[in-house]
Each structure stands twice: as structure tokens, then as C-alpha cells.
Amino acid sequence: MAAVSVSLADLSSAVAERSGNLLQVTIVGAGDVKLSGVAALSSATRSDLAFLADPLYLSDALTTQAGAIVLNASDRDALLSQSASRTAMAVCDHPHVWFAYAAQILVPDEAADPGVADGAHVARGARIDASARIDAGATVGDEAVVGAGAWIGAGAAIGARAVIGEGTRVHPRAVVLDACRIGARCVIHSGAVIGGDGFGFAPFDGRWIKIPQVGSVVIGDDVEIGANTTIDRGAIGNTIIEDGVKLDNQIQIAHNCVIGAHTVIAACVGIAGSAKIGRGCRIGGAAMIAGHLTIADGSSIGPATAVPSSVSETGHYTAFFPMMKHREWERAVAVLRNLPELRRRVRQLEFERKVAEPKPEK
């Protein structure tokens, strides 16, 4: 990542433009302060932009050496009430989002110098855009297409007939297998495997007969796929990841799943075959989702939660065992194993009570 140097005033114009003029700031103090990086409040130096997104960190903001802080109006007031500010401020409604855009500008992705490196292995029938970059050790299969400005990292493998969209970055050692299609501006992190066979076998005569997985994986635009995440190709038909989906590391998505647009899934989640996750969902880390079900748009699944059946009503769902000291857990579990018996005993008490002391129903 190479840093640039830009004044706070120019940075605010650049963020406005990048956000489609949805993000505007009011600058308090020196708009001409030159910024060239981002840092935490506590470790920032004069050339850094920092952000204050939680009043919890007001004391850090009071003592920060940052050249500028982005924050909301309420935190600005709190800050100014306690100290004359030495630090320029960019005041806006969404400081975290503004900071995200500003950081994209201050610490831009490394430019992908176009060209196929020595030691890259590109099949003769592959079509590589002249502005794309293929690093050493990468392989690109026959009839694959690599779009404008795309970057295939060291040792990444792109299969035959695969399509890598414009501006998409495939990090070192990621794998996109035959005929899978990746949209524009995606990021595929190292070790991710897109398009392995779905897990399909029919039991017969004491063995498992493989069902060829003839579908593919189709990934939309602006999708990010974490390190060592796996997305299997469809059995028949495709596995589909819609636009704007963000997948963390170590996720498993089985054949024929559909992940709705702008859904975000934290690390270590597993999703079984043919599950259909709605748009705009948030799935917590290590959640495990069964196959052949549907999760309603906008739903939120808690971490470490097993989802055994469809979620038809949008909401926030959770299911994990509460952590206890080991001894207490052992005791709770002993009772849990016999819950039906405990309920029976409560019923018996209720019955005896009724028999012993009949009284009018209330």
C-alpha cells in the first residue's frame, strides 16, 4: 500500500465524489493540514487522519497528535467543551463511513502494473486484458478471461473458461476453478477455493456413488471472499453469490446455495447445500446453516448458532449454550439431560395440588 499526501479540504472533496455526494463534512480548524495516512487516536502523528466513533474514546481524542479527526457533531461539541482544539475536525453524520472512504484515498491499493510476469503460466487460449496483471507462479487455464485492471496474485490458479471481472483482485494462492465467473471489483483472498465439486453422492450397495457436479459458481460485483473460504460449484445449476456480498475467512458454502445481495457473513460459518440466504442478512461467526432452507431478507443470525430450518420471519435469532465455569456447566447439563423428567414432576405436583385442593378456576 502506497500513501499519498492530501489536504483535509481536498480529502473531503474526494470523499464526497467517491460517495456519490452522499457524504459531506464540515471542517473545523485547519483545512489545509496535509494528511498521508490513517491511525488510531492514541498512536496517530501529525500526518494521520484518525476517527472518533464512540464517546468512550473522547479522552484519546483530547490528547491525540493526529492531524485531523473525523467525528459526529455531538462528539465535536463534547470535545470542544473540554479543550480548545489543536486538531482539525471533519464533522459528519457517518464518521466511520467517511473514514472508510478517506482511508481508501489516503492508503490506496497498490497499483497493478499491467503485464504477465515471468514465471506465470498462461494457457494459449486465455484472454488477458492488456491492463491486467498476472504474477509469478500464477496459472490461467484455456479460454479463461481476465478483465481490465484485474490482478491475479502470485501462485493463484484460474481454471479453464473461468471469467475474472474488471478490477477484481485474486490474492496469492487463491483458486478459481473451471468455468466459474467472478464479477467486477471483487476481492478473492488467499487460499479461497471457488468451484470445487459439491458434495454429492448417492448411497448404493454399501458405497457412495459420485454424482457429477456439472454446475458452476457465479459471483456478482463488489463481492469480497475471505482467506481459505470455499464455495462449491452447483450439482445441476449454479451456486450464486449476489452483488455486494462480503464473506469473511474459513466459510464453507455448499453447492447450489444462493447468498442474497449485500449479505455479510462472519468467519467460520458453514452453509449446507441449496440453502437460500436472503438479501441484507447478517450471519454471525461460526453459525451453521442447514441445507434446503430459506432465510428471510434482512435477518440476523447470532454467532455459533445452528439454523436447522427456515427463517421465514425477519428477526434476530440465536442458539448457543451459555458459557459457565466447568463445574457449574456439569451440574446444569445433568439436569438438562433429564428435563422431560423434571417437567413430569412439575405436572405431577400440579395434578396433586388440583386434586388436594379443588378451587374455582380463575
Helix (H, G, I), strand (E, B) or coil at 328: helix
Binding segment (CB under 8 A) for a copy of itself, from list 63-71, 80-88, 124-132, 303-311: 303-311
User: What is the spatial distance between Cα 209 and Cα 211, in angstroms, rounded to a whole number?
Assistant: 6
Site membership for a copy of itself, residue 125 (CB under 8 A): no
Site membership for a copy of itself, residue 304 (CB under 8 A): yes
Site for a copy of itself in 17-56 (CB under 8 A): 19, 22-23, 37-40, 43
Size of the site for a copy of itself (CB under 8 A): 131
Helix (H, G, I), strand (E, B) or coil at 174: coil
Contact 46, 34 (CB under 8 A): no
Single out the catalytic residue among 96, 171, 189, 255. Answer: 255
Provide the phi-psi class of 225: left if phi over 0, else alpha when psi is between -120 and 50, else beta.
beta
Query: CB 247 → a copy of itself: shortest distance, Å?
Result: 9
Q: Which is nearer to a copy of itself, 83 or 316 (CB)?
A: 316
Site for a copy of itself in 141-180 (CB under 8 A): 141, 153-155, 157, 159, 171-173, 175, 177-178
Site for a copy of itself in 274-293 (CB under 8 A): 280, 285-286, 288, 290
Site membership for a copy of itself, residue 67 (CB under 8 A): no
Contact 88, 28 (CB under 8 A): yes
**How many residues are recorded in the chain?**
362
Site membership for a copy of itself, residue 306 (CB under 8 A): yes
Cell of 163: 471469467
Active site residue 316: no
Site membership for a copy of itself, residue 196 (CB under 8 A): yes
Site membership for a copy of itself, residue 250 (CB under 8 A): yes
User: What is the spatial distance between Cα 229 and Cα 14, in angstroms, rounded to a whole number?
Assistant: 34
Quote the DSSP letter at residue 113. -
Site for a copy of itself in 202-221 (CB under 8 A): 202-212, 214
Half-sphere exposure of 360 (CA within 13 A, CB side): 1
Helix (H, G, I), strand (E, B) or coil at 107: coil
Site membership for a copy of itself, residue 232 (CB under 8 A): yes
**Cα distance from N-terminal residue to C-terminal residue, the chain:** 73
When binding is defined by CB under 8 A, the residue of 85, 224, 296, 297 that contacts a copy of itself is 224
Site membership for a copy of itself, residue 305 (CB under 8 A): yes
When binding is defined by CB under 8 A, the residue of 2, 56, 130, 323 that contacts a copy of itself is 323
Residues 90-109: x/- map of binding to a copy of itself (CB under 8 A)? Answer: ----x-xx-xxx-xx--x-x
Site membership for a copy of itself, residue 332 (CB under 8 A): yes
Q: Which is nearer to a copy of itself, 8 or 138 (CB)?
A: 138
Site membership for a copy of itself, residue 346 (CB under 8 A): yes
Contact 279, 297 (CB under 8 A): yes
Task: Kindly list the distances between the CA atom of residue 234 and the CA atoms of 100, 108, 183, 244, in Å, as whole numbers in the listed order.
Answer: 35, 36, 18, 21
Query: CB 81 → a copy of itself: shortest distance, Å?
Result: 27
DSSP string, 183-225: -TT-EE-TT-EEEEPP--EEEETTEEEE------EEE-SS-EE
Q: Which is nearer to a copy of itself, 141 or 147 (CB)?
A: 141
Q: What residues are labeled active site? A: 255
